[in-house]
Amino acid sequence: MHNKTIKELSALLQSKQVSSVELATHYLDRIEASSHNAFLHLDRERTLAQASAADARIAAGSAGPLTGVPIAHKDIFVTRGWRTTAGSKMLANYESPFDATVVDRFAKAGMVTLGKVNLDEFAMGSANENSAFGPVKNPWDPLAVPGGSSGGSAAAIAARLAPAATATDTGGSIRQPAAFCGVTGIKPTYGRVSRFGMIAFASSLDQGGPIAQTAEDCALLLNEMIGFDERDSTSLTAEQGNVVEDFSRDLNKPLNGLRIGVPKEYFGEGLASDVESAVRAALDQFVKLGASLVEISLPKTALSIPTYYIIAPAEASSNLSRFDGVRYGHRASEYKDLQDMYRKTRAEGFGREVQRRIMVGTYVLCHGYYDAYYVQAQKIRRLIADDFQAAFADKCDVIMGPVAPTVAWDLGSKANDPVANYLADIFTLSTSLAGLPGMSIPVGFGQGEKNGKRPVGLQIIGNYFAEAKLLNIAHQYQQVTDWHTRAPEGV
């Protein structure tokens, strides 16, 4: 049962071959028996109550395609009745009085919440080792990281602990963990998915999206996620192009004539040979499906790392200033005065990586450094976006390349080297800085540091509002390959 896709589970539920209660119970039992540390909070009674309500909707004939299907929510989305920690000691016991828009939309669609999944603290990380509640283990190799920050979401799908999971992508946090765990994930165009109720890291970059086994499943999930939300000031309106649409409408379109841009900067020094081999083989498969390959250049790619790590920490330092121990969250137990309480509360509540980014962000926003760092970074951000537009204007329809330079690394191997973690995002950051949609699909395996079997992901990047095109391309590839169907040993 747990190896079935969302589409398959939906058909079983609608035909009443299985009930939502039976399905939820099956997944809860698997979660409780797992050792991946993917889930942070379960509430069996609440989950089964939602499942029972879904069964009633199905019986009444008022169910939608996702009614009764279980889903896991990244613990960055606030949820009424469930703890929302953002992977931080700062919010260890926090319960929101309302649901995030994304959570609410899935609830209205009849999906059943299994629980909240682990993540890097406040979504800051590339390995899911920064969580205050311990690292997530990659289901393919327990010695490996699952990627981050949405490592809990990706690991839950790979280990078949859930058929669907929400995630967020600030600099690659949907695509990279999806690649490391051998599953499918898509980051929509910035502003298409509401950020209301998503605990903010970097407001001009954060974007929600789904992770699942297949592109078809992601299309079904995206149908519910996308749409204007007046409560989110960064939400795009229908007039701006953010129309509610059926993302599965073009899944079966042939790829004849598709022009795939292959950036030369993505295949240079630093790219592991096993990753390159798997990606090149996937590109060859697309040629067999009727596409053509075009070499392109994205010359500002190398600048995406310093640009991102100025802009994102600057926005984080502002967003996280609200966690001061006064209104909610952790508060130091002993302090002399208000200033001492602020200092101790934030020192105790935030982990090392969060503290590091707050300090960097505060520095670049200081008087005398703002123009030299933050303003310059924003100018380079525009140049990075212009590189993509030049490629899409007359050279290619989509862009493809590796998601990351290597397969997942060993747990702890980069824990004391933050720069090494930052460099691992070289191929995903520019897409986020430009606000473009991008996705990751599994295309093979490489060898880990202990010669373990570790997945490789292919990144597909489109122009603004091209999510349906990306899903079509991914779906056509998945119709002739089986990488997306493979599961870790023992699953």
Report the catalytic residues: 74, 149, 173
The DSSP output letter for 411 is T
> What are the two backbone dihedrals, phi and then psi, of residue 166, each rounded to the nearest 5 degrees?
-85, 155
Calpha distance 418→437 (Å, rounded): 26
Distance CA 182, CA 154 (A): 8
Per DSSP, 89 falls in state G
Secondary structure (H, E, C), 149-190: CCHHHHHHHHCCCCCEEEEEECCCCCHHHHHHHCCEEEECCC
CA-closest candidate to residue 344, choices 335, 353, 355: 335
Is residue 442 within 8 A of residue 484, CB to CB? The reply is yes
Report d(CA 324, CA 331) in Å as an integer: 8
For residue 229, give Cα distances in angstroms to 172, 194, 380. 23, 6, 30
Report whether 316 contacts 122 (CB < 8 A): yes
Instruction: Classify burial at 265, counting beta carbons within 10 Å of its beta carbon; exposed 0-12, middle 13-18, buried 19 or more.
Output: middle
Query: Maximum Cα–Cα distance for the chain, whole Å?
Result: 70
Which two structure tokens, joined as six digits, stand for 458?
């292919």
Nearest to 154 by CA among 170, 141, 171, 136: 136
Written as six digits, the tokens of 231 are 């409560």
Q: CA 417, CA 414: separation in Å to the nearest integer?
A: 5
Sign of CA dihedral 241, 242, 248, 249: negative
The tokens for 46 are: 């609440």
Q: Which residues pair with 168 in a beta bridge?
A: 208
